[in-house]
Amino acid sequence: MPDFRSDTVTRPSHAMKEAMFHAALGDDVFNDDPTTLALQDYAAKMLGFDAALFAPSGTQTNLIALMSHCQRGDEAIVGQQWHTYKWEGGGMAVLGSIQPQPLALQDNGTLALQDIQDAIKPDDPHFARTRLIVIENTVGGKVLPLSYMQQVAALAKANNLQCHIDGARLFNAAVALAPNHQLSPQAMARALCQGYDSVSICLSKGLGAPVGSLLLGSADFIQRARRIRKMLGGGMRQTGVITAAGLYALQHNIERLAEDHANARLLAEGLQALSQQGRFAGQLRVLPVQTNILFTELPLALADALQHFLAQHQVQLTASNYANASSQFKRMRWVCHLDISRGDIEQTLDLLARFAHSEA
């Protein structure tokens, strides 16, 4: 039964394992692992950067980017909910001596341009030196549009700041936006990156590789990044074993992200229909879904009962508690990915209907 906890749970396919088995290998700290060089080159060309660097995780590629852009005492403008600020153990402050300047997100997942502008500090000994703007796309499954991405890049340039994209799920954004712009997902991803100094992408999420992320930027930036990766312990040796999977993922698994988006929509529509029925009536809130991540909200007790019921049927998902002025509720997160089929969604909706019509 499906595992909705995250798109990180995907297992390498047989064809991906074949690519790993046959990978040509060298030593990536000596910069001569041919498969890793091929992956870095392939990604850099696709996204329009000079160079790329493979690292074990997206947390590390983000930290490497922050430490390559910023010196001790510099400041990075981030969102309150950005992964770089909230979900990476405070690494930029702990390991980089970089001060985060968090800003509240708007409902659509963006930072207001005026808020960014207002957060930029003048050159004054009282203040940290504002150096970098970080943008995340997608954020909580929401897509930041091309026009917004361009505005932030222009704002950074006008203020002499660097800008970085945490694009762990950049290809989900690209697949969602591509039809509107009549571009391929790859060309769309490249357009989203244009004007940015660096981007980090995850190979181990919806793209389906078992391990790894890439950082992309100018040749000079990637040279500095290589030193920081070594310092952080991210220099690995026969990385071709895993980068073969990453290369396979970029070559085969981008377009199919559209299936995950369609599955998330199917699940949302089914849940929306159930929200009028039985135990869910008037209780279940289904948030709008743009890519592969769906959120639903239920009052605490009902959410606990549902999670217990789903766990009995081996359906896994994550949930966290929230509160507003009038009530406490649980927000459940359903992440669709390459190991969840349309059939899994239909089965899950059958289970949800059974729960809706069961005795409390």
Binding-site ranges for ligand PLP (CB under 6 A):
57-59, 62, 83, 136, 166, 168, 202, 204, 213
CA pair distance 212, 50, nearest whole angstrom: 20
Q: Which amino acid makes up residue 166? A: D
State in angstroms the smallest separation of the CB of 7 from ligand PLP.
Answer: 9
Three state DSSP letters for 141-197? CECCCHHHHHHHHHHHHHCCCEEEEEECCHHHHHHHHHHHHCCCHHHHHHHHHCCCC
Q: In the bound complex, what is the minimum distance in angstroms from residue 153's beta carbon to ligand PLP?
A: 19
Shortest distance in whole angstroms from residue 139 CB to ligand PLP: 7
Residue with tokens 């297992």: 11
CB of 346 to ligand PLP, least distance (A): 27
Q: Which residues of 249-278 are buried (b: 16+ CB within 10 A; e: fewer)?
A: bbeebbeebbbbbebbbbbbebbeebbeee
Q: Is 93 exposed, middle or buried (0-12, 13-18, 19+ CB in 10 A)?
A: middle
In the complex with ligand PLP, the residue whose CB is nearer, 58 or 270, is 58
Pick 228 or 284: Cβ nearer ligand PLP: 228
- The smaller minimum CB distance to ligand PLP, of residues 7 and 356, is found at 7
Q: Which is nearer to ligand PLP, 37 or 65 (CB)?
A: 65
Number of Cβ within 10 Å of residue 49's Cβ equals 24
* Closest distance of CB 64 from ligand PLP, Å: 12
Indicate the residue among 111 and 352 with the shorter CB distance to ligand PLP: 111
Calpha distance 242→240 (Å, rounded): 5
Among residues 101 and 172, whose Cβ is nearest to ligand PLP?
A: 172
| Cβ 286 to ligand PLP shortest distance, Å | 22
Q: How many CB atoms lie within 10 A of CB 102?
A: 17
| Cβ at position 34, least distance to ligand PLP in Å | 24
Q: Output b/e per residue, 50-79; b: 16+ Cβ within 10 A.
A: ebbbbbbbbbbbbbbbbbbbbeeebbbbbb
Minimum distance from residue 200 beta carbon to ligand PLP (Å): 7
Residue 31 region by backbone torsions, left for phi larger than 0, else alpha for psi between -120 and 50, else beta: left
Please give the single-letter amino acid code of residue 312: Q
- Taking the least distance from each CB to ligand PLP, the nearer of 65 and 319 is 65
Q: Looking at beta carbons only, is 57 or 238 nearer to ligand PLP?
A: 57
Q: Are 64 and 199 in contact, with CB atoms under 8 Å apart?
A: no
